[in-house]
Structure 1
Amino acid sequence: MNATPASMGWTWLKAGFSMLRRQPAGLSTLFFGYMLLTTLLSILPLLGQIAQIVLMPVFAVGFMSAARQIEAGLPVVPAMLGAGFRKPKFGRLCRLGAVNLGAFFLVVAIALLFADFDMLSKMTPADLQANPQLMQDAGLLPGLLVGCAIYIPVLFVISFAAPIVFWNEMATGKALFYSFFAIKRAAGAFFVFAVCLCVIAFVTMNLMRMVFGGGTLGFAMLQVVSVLLYGCAHCALYVAYAHIFGAPAAEPAPLAKP
């Protein structure tokens, strides 16, 4: 593993956004393909939301594969979004997703420890999404802050384990082990990465809300921005992976055809 100063966290993030500038059409196709798939999954009550969480590492590998192509000077094609669905790696990535699901449920459980259940029983998820102040009134905010402080490092370990499973041919448990110690060794860089990404997301989301309001258009724009940030963040994670473990070879020619 290569040595990693804290300043590399910002360098990784800049490289992730730079990839969007280098191939805006190719990456935008992946972003909106991902957005379409997650929208279709969300049609299924509860099961669709669970599937999105479990498939997170699978889709993450798709964005990282695209980042590898851009770094190699090759075109990004829509088929890359499905890179993580190949067997036998798909099963290993889904096991990472199961760990992600467990961590997510832990966050929910912690949030509910502080909640006012009488007030929550009178609200719907749509109410909470439309008016974030209700989350504070219902006592969810302290629990969510504690839960997120736990979940974000776990999410980094899971996300960083995905390319290790995919390119280093490791089993899920071993990939999580290597991911944990790689992040621990480069903790300063990943802390800078996480803080900068959160600041960019916070500022961008609030700007979108100010410009487009909290209605249907505003919500749609927030979704678009969320997907763009999600994709660029995973491109940046690929850059981090390549810095720490070394860049994998580019995709075979059939996948790289425009």
Structure 2
Amino acid sequence: MKLHIVPASTGITWVKSGIAVFRRQPMAMAALFFMTMAAMSLASVVPLIGPALALALLPSATLAMMVASAEAMQGRFPTPAVLLVAFRTGRQRLNHMLVLGALYAGGFLAVMGISALVDGGVFAQVYLGGETMTQEIAENEDFQHAMWVAMALYLPLSLLFWHAPGLVHWHGVPPVKSLFFSIVACVRNFGAFVVFGLGWLAVFALGGVLMSLVSAVLAVLGLFSAGAMGGLMVGLAMVMAAMFFSSIVFTFRDCFAAPDTASPTPDAPTSP
């Protein structure tokens, strides 16, 4: 396996590619993303282990969107079967994905635990949905410090797991090695990932501005209620999030050379 170093401008190409592949199969990609989020939400309600179980599913959900994007790139229609791709590629890779999920859940809960040392766990409870955000909480200095601590710790965690699902699935890399290769690829291509992140921030900001303008105009005309517009804004945010996840496979494809073996790659995906 060979690591590719790409120019910073590649980050914008990744953003454009994610949007373009989403436009090829918008209904399928959006539906798959909604189903992955629904599955994680259902998992989170399991007594005692629900939140950890939902977190453990995130690497598999990310892989499902990567495979769906790879299918769409090849002109194929990504079916809901891709949601189970992590569990249908052999016992060894299944075990590796399960370990990867457990490591992610453990890492995320550790981040929340460290933030709890700053504000007594208020930020963790708000983030995990156990407490409602209020103005008083948002203005609390300890809460703000805990938020920044969590963000600072989550960045390296996300880099560790960014490419890991793809490395396990397409290259057969063991979980711990996949984390190492993932963060090395992100650091070596830091410029491209910074541009990638800024590009998506711009897309989300532009989408929010446009939706706000549309909602304001429709509200003045009396065509939509405030509740309906709120629902539309949530729907737009979900669609843009689906586009974002659709772009992850392009970062993986450009950072790693295809394996020499006959194992599947994003450029030649196998049907799940």
The TM-score range, normalised by the shorter chain, is 0.7 to 0.9
For the Cα contact (< 8 Å) 1:119–1:138, is it kept in 2?
no
TM-score by length of 2: 0.77
Pairing 1:154–2:172 present:
no
Cα distance, 1:228 vs structure 2: 3.3
Correspondence for 2:268 among 241, 244, 250:
250
CA separation in 1, counterparts of 2:52 and 2:69? 26
CA separation in 2, counterparts of 1:208 and 1:125? 29
Change (3 A) 1:97 1:185: same
Cα distance, 1:240 vs structure 2: 1.0
For the Cα contact (< 8 Å) 2:96–2:175, is it kept in 1?
yes
For the Cα contact (< 8 Å) 2:115–2:124, is it kept in 1?
no
CA separation in 1, counterparts of 2:164 and 2:62? 10
State the Cα deviation string for residues 170-194 of structure 1 (Å, max 9, x = none): 1111111211211121011112222
Correspondence for 1:166 among 159, 164, 169:
169
What RMSD in Å do the two structures reach over aligned CA positions?
3.2
Change (3 A) 1:139 1:246: same
TM-score by length of 1: 0.81
Moved more, 240-249 or 58-67: 240-249
Report the 3-state secondary structure (helix = DSSP H, G, I; strand = E; otherwise coil) of the residue aligned with 1:35. helix
Report the 3-state secondary structure (helix = DSSP H, G, I; strand = E; otherwise coil) of the residue aligned with 1:125. coil
Structure 1 gaps, min length 5 = none
State the Cα deviation string for residues 87-108 of structure 1 (Å, max 9, x = none): 3322212222222223212321
Cα distance, 1:3 vs structure 2: 2.5
Pairing 1:83–2:85 present:
yes
CA separation in 1, counterparts of 2:232 and 2:143? 25
State the Cα deviation string for residues 218-245 of structure 1 (Å, max 9, x = none): 8766664554344322321100111122
Correspondence for 2:28 among 26, 29, 36:
26
Q: Which has the larger radius of gyration?
A: 2
Match of residue 74 from structure 1: 76
Kindly tell me the number of residue pairs found equivalent between the two proteins: 248
Match of residue 98 from structure 1: 102
For the Cα contact (< 8 Å) 2:17–2:250, is it kept in 1?
yes
For the Cα contact (< 8 Å) 2:29–2:68, is it kept in 1?
yes
Structure 2 gaps, min length 5 = 217-225, 259-264
Question: Where does 1:1-258 land on structure 2 (aligned, <5 Å)?
Answer: 1-86=3-88, 87-115=91-119, 125-128=130-133, 131=134, 134-137=137-140, 139-201=142-204, 204=207, 224-225=235-236, 227-246=238-257, 248=265, 249-252=267-270, 255=272
- Counterpart of 1:75, as a letter, is F
